[in-house]
Amino acid sequence: MTGDSLYERVLEQIERGASLPRPRPPRASASVVPWRQTDEDLEVYWIKRSESLTFMGGWHAFPGGGLSRHDQEIEVVGRPQMIAEAPLDGALPEAVLEGVSDLGPIAPPGLLTCAVRELFEETGLMLSSPAVDAKDGGDLTSRLSVLRRELLAGEMDFASVLLNAGLSPEVSGLLYAGRWLTPPLGPMRFDNRFFLLHWPRTRSVQPEVIAGEVESGEWIRPSIALERWQDGEVLIAPPIVHILEVLDQEGPVGGVERLHRPEECNLGPYRRIEFRPGVLLFPMRTPTLPPASYTNAYLLGTGECVLVDPGSPLEEEIGRLRKGLEATESKLDRRVTAIWLTHHHPDHVGGVGPLREALGVPVLAHAATAARLRARGLQVDGELNDEQRLTLPGEPPMRLRVLHTPGHARGHLCFLLEQDGSLLAGDMVAGFGTIVIDPPEGNMNEYFRSLERLRDLAPRTMFPAHGPAIRSAVAKLNELIDHRQWREQRILEAWESGRRKPDEIMEVAYDEISEIVRPLAERQIMAHLERLRSAGFLDRADT
């Protein structure tokens, strides 16, 4: 079984009537945006999520999190401002609504309690009746500090915190600021409602981070936060970018309508996903290997752009992407001038033929990829070579460096954005799950060398073909190398114990996997055995 046949098996199942997995329904969540007016300007309080978190680890965000089943058991006092007048959906585009059968209310049961709880957990600010004020002797403030640590340690729930402190959640200070759904990039999605909260400098209790899920927090001017995002210093999600822009331009009062209805952030059927300036992401539902069900197509550039990996062969998805690209050209003045491919696998090239014809642009790839695709009848018009440097005209221009990174596929390419160190990583890494190395196309020795090469380039942010962006790129690459080495050691130990067949080795080396990915694990074992054999370890074990 070759790498291509793994994908072809998925395609055959689709042709026989099997449906692609749909995104999971998003989990209700809430975020609070504390703001204050200084002598000079408006400031907001944001946090940096811990690098160790699997979801958005190392990203900057506003305090918030998912709805707990216990939140709806706690009654709140008051109601947020303008929540009754706000529209229900905020004009959410169709691609974002994948997997959502019923939007439901703005504030489902427990959501306001969730907002109060998450704000308290992550910043120590308590919205309550009676209000907490250190000027009143400080006893309640001190007690809440102890209770908060017990809550974060899992020794107490939020209801017990409130009972011990004699408080009730009070939400009249919250101002509804819009609703955003996580796009279907991976298995974890949120239906998030944002609330503004005025928290003056004169309040005696101010935000304080306790290290854990949150690494740090700070008051910052929206303009400065956006500059840090533009420079590649921080990674933030689209709703955070939008809220910062609106607050910077119009403030928390004048910008409410824009926050409630962010249609300006739509690109046709998509919500604008631009984790880094000049890197637009269009998730496409694609026949691919589990646990992924989407492939990320990227539009790189600020003027003349390249479209990378339009992978879905599904007519509906290709039509959506065309509409998204048309909206991008009309709203952002970004025009596709070429299609680039990271490699030849079907889940990365499925839409290339129709889009090449519709857009009238050339297709470029590595020579090894071009040869594989030409054999299938897919035209490739030019080649991209290792260490080739190209500049895409625009404001500002985008400087790209081509990197040949074989291992997953012989012609695999990555693209480094030289001005900010971002890396378009293709299938070298995954935002969730793992990368399959499948002989003979895949080669574990080459994969290790490619990972080490990318690590040594010290990229800041990685954009994978499947899943969300990865903030701590070097740490992630080191983690992948370490994990592969650990897995290889388990395979070697299984071999040394007398196991020779992949299914026998799998019982020891992959004992934690589910049934659906066992065929993938078998191919991984073959790749590791090839690498061990080339290094002489298997011969030594047999003596």
CA–CA dist 300, 297 (Å, integer): 10
Protein fold of 3-20+286-481? Metallo-beta-lactamase; Chain A (3.60.15)
537's torsion region: left (phi>0), alpha (psi -120 to 50) or beta?
alpha
> What is the SS3 assignment for 472?
coil
The answer to whether 164 touches 145, Cβ cutoff 8 Å, is: no
Domain boundaries, the chain: 3-20+286-481, 27-262, 489-542
Give the pLDDT score at 234.
92
CATH architecture assigned to 27-262: Alpha-Beta Complex (3.90)
pLDDT tens for the chain, 543 residues: list them: 455 666 666 556 655 555 556 667 889 999 999 999 988 799 999 999 998 887 888 999 999 999 998 999 999 999 998 765 656 555 688 888 877 777 778 788 999 999 999 999 999 999 999 988 766 667 888 899 999 999 999 999 999 999 999 999 999 999 999 999 988 887 788 999 999 999 999 998 999 999 999 999 999 999 999 999 998 889 999 999 999 999 999 999 899 989 998 999 999 999 999 999 999 999 999 988 777 889 999 999 999 999 999 999 999 999 999 999 999 999 999 999 999 999 999 999 999 999 999 999 999 999 999 999 999 999 999 999 999 999 999 999 999 999 999 999 999 999 999 988 999 999 999 988 789 899 999 999 999 999 999 999 999 999 999 999 998 899 999 999 999 999 999 999 999 888 988 888 988 888 777 777 788 888 899 999 999 999 888 876 564
Neighbours of 437 (CB within 10 A): 27
Listed in sequence order, the residues at least 6 apart from 145 whose beta carbon sits closer than 8 Å to its beta carbon are 124
Give the pLDDT score at 49.
95
CA–CA dist 253, 420 (Å, integer): 34
The answer to whether 172 touches 82, Cβ cutoff 8 Å, is: no
> Nearest 5°: phi and psi at 72?
-75, -5
Give the pLDDT score at 1.
46
Neighbours of 432 (CB within 10 A): 16
3-state secondary structure 120-189: HHHHCCCCEECCCCHHHCCHHHHHHHHHHHHHHCCCCCHHHHHHHHCCEEECCCEEEEEEEECCCCCCCC
Handedness of CA 461, 465, 467, 468 (dihedral sign): positive
